[in-house]
């Protein structure tokens, strides 16, 4: 019961002062009604519904108006979603929305919600790291079978995969072993593939035991980059690897990618080493070939990302390299970022003077606030990212703790690249219903859903992250309006120019309309099949 007239009046005032969100009839009703402590239940529930509608209107997608087809598809999606959430409510062991990805993945892949999301066009992928962008399963089944692949273990106990014997470079503490020979000695091809995949995948049945702290999981995570690095640097391997990265994105209904990359020297079977510039040439060639085969794929732009633990002089050297790349490819190499475990790396403030040397035509896309700490240098990276006019914020996990900043982010239209599974696997949050992305969605803070390093935890594309976004981060009542807004956000907050965005939006709209038709047609077929069985 209400504690007097005053409390109830405050609620009504809040509804109108927040936004004119309730239906017009509800708004008129509330404006003309005097509420007192003897309010009838009917009035109470109308006010209650208006308050819920107000909050819904404030969230991501709240302003979208769905057309008649979208309304019908939304009904289908919400049926899937509510059924699944109710089942999870009854049995926590079936509640994928609350579970760690390693435990939930089999449930997700059987989910009607997930299959719906796999069919849904997703627009652009704006936060993906080159070296961990391909599924470990594909690497195990394909790259591991390339002739000449070797393995050694370095002085830190890390497995190193390579096509060249160079003990000093790899700091091997063991002899090189030929992968093909190991494979032949294995009980089966499948068994060896699983063993090989373990080298480059964080998966474990018991993540809570194997990764007891954030440092445990980050150490293994970063070691896997060392494991796979020289394998991918092999020129023939990199070409097919990059093609597969694009294909896994495209197969998940992604039409454009902004890829975080670090240049490296490629090498070939003859031992020839190619300069960093050749790396960009290879990317351009592969992307061009991919676009020729898949014309509705719009391409790739590159964000140059360097390790945040580097000394300032080395950062300055890398910035000079970035300038050279940007000058040669101004519409392709478009941005700069610092990567690595934020809690252990140098804060942005250490490099302010160097950042001043970067021309305005190169945009910032800073990882910032990827932490649970509050008031540390990692957390304060968010202030520097905003002050440095970052175009988007990578992760922004701690942003919710800073109302001045998240209001500024909203007012300045800076998108937060939310990577739900990454934040969970890398130990920031266990139950994704507690992820701060829920707050960002509730406040309509600009958000784009991203996947970060999907290859290292057995994911592909964006569907898995979208699953958690709509099932865990979003309200139980959020459906196609929020999904559509998130999809279109990916184009709006990309670095595509005006002409490119018009093309992207046109392509996306055609795909979206076909998607709606496909869902409705499938639903009609299912209904007819069900009716036949009943008859």
Q: How many CB atoms lie within 10 A of CB 67?
A: 10
For 159, which DSSP code? E
Rounded distance between C-alpha atoms, residue 185 and residue 219, angstroms = 30
Rounded-to-10 torsion of CA 128, 129, 130, 135: -70
CA angle, 208 as apex, 82 and 92 as ends, to 5°? 25
CA–centroid distance for 314 within its chain: 29
Residues 6+ apart with CB under 8 A from 450: 125, 126, 127, 128, 417, 418, 419, 462, 465
Asked if 225 and 132 touch (Cβ cutoff 8 Å), the reply is yes
Residues 6+ apart with CB under 8 A from 32: none
- Encoding tokens for residue 85? 């959430």
Asked if 474 and 150 touch (Cβ cutoff 8 Å), the reply is no
The set of catalytic residues is 370, 395
Residues 6+ apart with CB under 8 A from 256: 123, 124, 125, 297, 298, 299, 300, 491, 494, 496, 504
| 374 burial via Cβ count (<10 Å: 0-12, 13-18, 19+) | exposed
Query: In the beta sheet, which residues pair with residue 150?
Result: 162, 178
Query: In the beta sheet, which residues pair with residue 302?
Result: 259, 333
Rounded-to-10 torsion of CA 401, 402, 405, 411: 70
């Amino acid at each position: 019961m209400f504690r007097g007239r005053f409390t109830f009046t405050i609620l009504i005032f809040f509804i109108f002062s927040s936004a004119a969100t309730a239906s017009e009839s509800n708004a008129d009703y509330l404006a003309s009604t005097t509420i007192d402590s003897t309010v009838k239940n009917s009035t109470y529930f109308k006010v209650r519904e208006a308050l819920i509608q107000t909050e819904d209107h404030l969230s991501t997608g709240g302003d979208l108006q769905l057309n008649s087809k979208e309304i019908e598809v939304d009904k289908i999606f919400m049926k899937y979603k509510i059924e699944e959430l109710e089942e999870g409510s009854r049995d926590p062991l079936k509640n994928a929305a609350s579970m760690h990805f390693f435990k939930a993945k089999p449930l997700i892949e059987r989910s009607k919600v997930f299959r719906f999301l796999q069919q849904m066009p997703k627009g652009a992928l704006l936060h993906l790291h080159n070296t961990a962008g391909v599924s470990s399963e594909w690497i195990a089944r394909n790259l591991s079978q390339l002739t000449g692949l070797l393995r050694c273990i370095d002085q830190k106990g890390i497995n190193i995969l390579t096509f060249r014997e160079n003990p000093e470079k790899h700091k091997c503490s063991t002899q090189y072993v030929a992968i093909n020979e190991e494979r032949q000695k294995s009980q089966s091809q499948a068994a060896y593939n699983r063993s090989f995949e373990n080298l480059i995948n964080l998966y474990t049945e018991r993540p809570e035991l194997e990764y007891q702290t954030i440092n445990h999981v980050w150490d293994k995570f970063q070691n896997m980059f060392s494991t796979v690095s020289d394998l991918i640097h092999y020129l023939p391997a990199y070409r097919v690897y990059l093609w597969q990265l694009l294909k896994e994105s495209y197969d998940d209904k992604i039409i454009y990618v902004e890829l975080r990359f670090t240049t490296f020297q490629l090498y070939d079977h003859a031992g020839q080493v190619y300069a960093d510039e050749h790396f960009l040439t290879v990317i351009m060639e592969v992307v061009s070939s991919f676009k020729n085969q898949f014309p509705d794929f719009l391409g790739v732009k590159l964000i140059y990302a360097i390790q945040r633990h580097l000394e300032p002089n080395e950062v300055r050297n890398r910035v000079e390299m970035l300038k050279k790349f940007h000058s040669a490819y101004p519409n392709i190499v478009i941005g700069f970022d610092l990567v690595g475990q934020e809690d252990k790396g140098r804060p942005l403030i250490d490099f302010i003077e160097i950042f001043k040397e970067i021309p305005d035509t190169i945009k910032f896309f800073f990882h910032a606030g990827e932490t649970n700490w509050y008031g540390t240098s990692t957390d304060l990276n968010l202030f520097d990212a905003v002050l440095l006019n970052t175009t988007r914020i990578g992760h922004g996990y701690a942003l919710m703790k800073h109302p001045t900043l998240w209001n500024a982010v909203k007012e300045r239209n800076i998108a937060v690249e939310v990577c739900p599974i990454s934040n969970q696997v890398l130990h920031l949050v266990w139950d994704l219903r507690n992820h701060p992305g829920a707050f960002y969605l509730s406040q309509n803070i600009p958000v784009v859903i991203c996947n970060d390093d999907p290859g290292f935890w057995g994911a592909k594309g964006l569907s898995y992250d979208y699953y958690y976004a709509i099932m865990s981060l979003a309200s139980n009542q959020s459906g196609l309006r929020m999904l559509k807004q998130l999809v279109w956000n990916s184009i709006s907050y990309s670095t595509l120019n005006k002409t490119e965005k018009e093309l992207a939006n046109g392509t996306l709209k055609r795909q979206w309309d076909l998607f709606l038709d496909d869902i409705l047609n499938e639903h009609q077929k299912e209904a007819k099949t069900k009716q036949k069985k009943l008859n």
